[in-house]
Amino acid sequence: MAKRGLGQKVARTLKIRFFHRKAPETRGTNNERSAIETDTKGPLLIKFIAGNTAINGAVYAGTPKELRPPVEKKRGVKIKSWPFFRRQRATSYLAFCEGFSKIRKIIGHFLPTIHNLGLGKLDTPPNHPHDKIGPPLFLLTSLTLVLNLFYIYIFSYEIFTRVRDVDITLSLGLVSILTTWIQIYASVLMLSWVRKIDQLCFVLKNLLKIWESQKPRADHNDSHLGLLLHLLIPLLITNPLGVAFTPIFIDNKSDPTYFLFRNWTDVPPFGKILLRLPILILNHFHCSVIIVGWFIIMGNTIPLVTKCVKIMCSSKDIIFENAFRKYRELQIITEALNQILYLTFSSLVFIPVICFTMFSYILVKLVAVVPFLVTFIVTSFIFLEIALVHLGMPLMTDVSLSAQDFIRIWKLKEISGWRRRRLRSCKLLKVAIGPFGYVGKGSRGALFSKMFDCALSLIISV
C-alpha cells in the first residue's frame, strides 16, 4: 500500500472532499483568498490558512462548522439613485414600488381597494376584496361627481345663455376647465377600479405566479420610472394643501368652489373660505389618491409582463413546452389587462393633449396675469406630464417588442414542425388604447407631436 501524501492526510483529518482534477476557481482579494496549489500529476494540495474568509464551499462540504473559516455574507444590491433611496435593498422584483407601501395604511382608509389588493406587501398575492366600496370611498366619490356636475352646469349656462358672468375671469375659467377635466378623469378611474376589480385581481395574481415560477434575479432597469413614481407620492399631500391655501394667500376666486358660496350674503368672506377648505382638501386628496394609485399599479403591472417574456427569451435551460404555456397565459393576462384599461386609456388619450395645451397657453400668454405661484405649478405639471409620457409610452411598447423577440428566437431554434405550427399560432402581446388601436413604436412621437401642435395652434390663434 502506497504511503499517503501530505494532501491526503490533511483531507482525511478535516474530512475534505477529494479532488484530482483542476482546482475550483475562487474569488476574492489576495488577503481573503485561500492558498490552493494544484499538481497535475498528484492530488490537490490544500494549505489551510487560519482567518480566510472566502474559500470555495464545495471544498469544505462535510466539514464541521467549528472547523470552517468564517464566510462573508452576501449583501443585497443597493439601488443606484439619489442618496435618499440608496438605503432600500433589492429584495424583490419591484423594489422601486416599496415607497407605495409606506403610505398604504393612510390610503387604505380612503381607498380600501388598494388595501385589499395587498399591493403594500408585494411578496404576497392579492386577495379578492370583500368590500368593493366602503363608506369613505363612496362619500368622496359622490362629492367629486357632484362637484363635476356643478362645474359643468355653470359653464354650460354661461355658454348657452350668452350671459357673461362678471366673476368668471380668464384665469379662473382656465383653472376651472382643467380642474373639471382632472376630476372627470379621476371619476373614470374610480368607476373602472370598482367595476374591474375582479379582473385586476386576476391579472396581478397570475402575473405574480408566472414571475415566481421563473425564479428571476433582482434587476434595476426601471430605476428612472421608480424615481418618478416616488416623486408622485408627495402629490398626495402637496396637491390638496396647495389648492386649499390658494384662496387664502393668492386669490379668493382662484378655484370653482367660489361659486358654491358666493350668494351666501349672511356669511363673511373669511367664513366662506373656511367652508370651502374641507371641500377642496377632501376632493383633491381623493383625486390624487385615485390617479397616483392607478399610475403606480399600472407602472408595476405592465413592465412585469415585459420582464416575464424577456426571461423566457434569455433563459438557457427553459424548454419549449413551458415557454409556450407561459406565453399563452400572458396572452390571456394581456387581453384581460386591455379590458381593464379600455375606458381608462380611451379618456387618457385626450387628457395629456388638453392639459398640455392649456398649461402652455397659461405659461406663454397669461404669465403677466396669473400669480407667480400658479405659473410655478403650471410649469411643474408640464414637466411632470412630459416625463410621464416619455417614460410611460415605452413601457407599453416594450410589451410588443419583447413578444416579437420571443417568437423570433424560437423560430431560429431547431424545433419540430408541430412546434413551429404551434409557435405560429402565438399572437403578439399588445397594449390597446381603447378603441383607437394599439401602442406601437411611433406612439410616443405621435403623442408628443399632437401635444405641441395643439399648444402652438392655440397660442398663435388666440
Instruction: Please tell me which of 21-25, 128-132, 356-360 the model is most confident about, judged by mean pLDDT.
Output: 356-360
Cell of 94: 419591484
Instruction: Answer yes or no: pTM beyond 0.75.
Output: no
Predicted confidence (pLDDT) at residue 357 exceeds the cutoff of 60: yes
Q: How many CB atoms sit inside 10 A of residue 277's CB?
A: 17
Question: Quick one: CA torsion of 152, 155, 157, 159, rounded to 10 degrees?
Answer: -130
What span, in angstroms and rounded, lies between the C-alpha atoms of 5 and 53?
A: 26
Q: Mutual orientation of helices 269-314 and 170-195 as an angle, nearest 10°?
A: 50
Task: Please report, for residues 120, 229, 266, the alpha-carbon distance to residue 102 in angstroms, rounded to integers and kept in the order given.
Answer: 8, 13, 45
Predicted confidence (pLDDT) at residue 315 exceeds the cutoff of 80: no
CA-wise closest residue to 120 among 99, 108, 136, 104: 104
Instruction: Please tell me which of 75-79, 115-119, 134-138, 206-210 the model is most confident about, judged by mean pLDDT.
Output: 206-210
pLDDT confidence tier of residue 134, bands split at 50, 70 and 90: low
Q: Are 216 and 311 in contact (CB under 8 A)?
A: yes
pLDDT (tens digit, 9 = 90+) per residue, 406-448? 888 777 777 777 777 777 777 888 888 877 778 878 888 888 8
What span, in angstroms and rounded, lies between the C-alpha atoms of 462 and 358?
A: 12
pLDDT at 303: 80
Cell of 122: 408585494
What span, in angstroms and rounded, lies between the C-alpha atoms of 307 and 182?
A: 32
Q: Scanning the structure block, which residue is given the C-alpha cell 395587498?
A: 118
Longest dimension (CA), the chain: 116
Contacts (Cβ under 8 Å, ≥6 apart) of 265:
none
What span, in angstroms and rounded, lies between the C-alpha atoms of 330 and 356?
A: 34
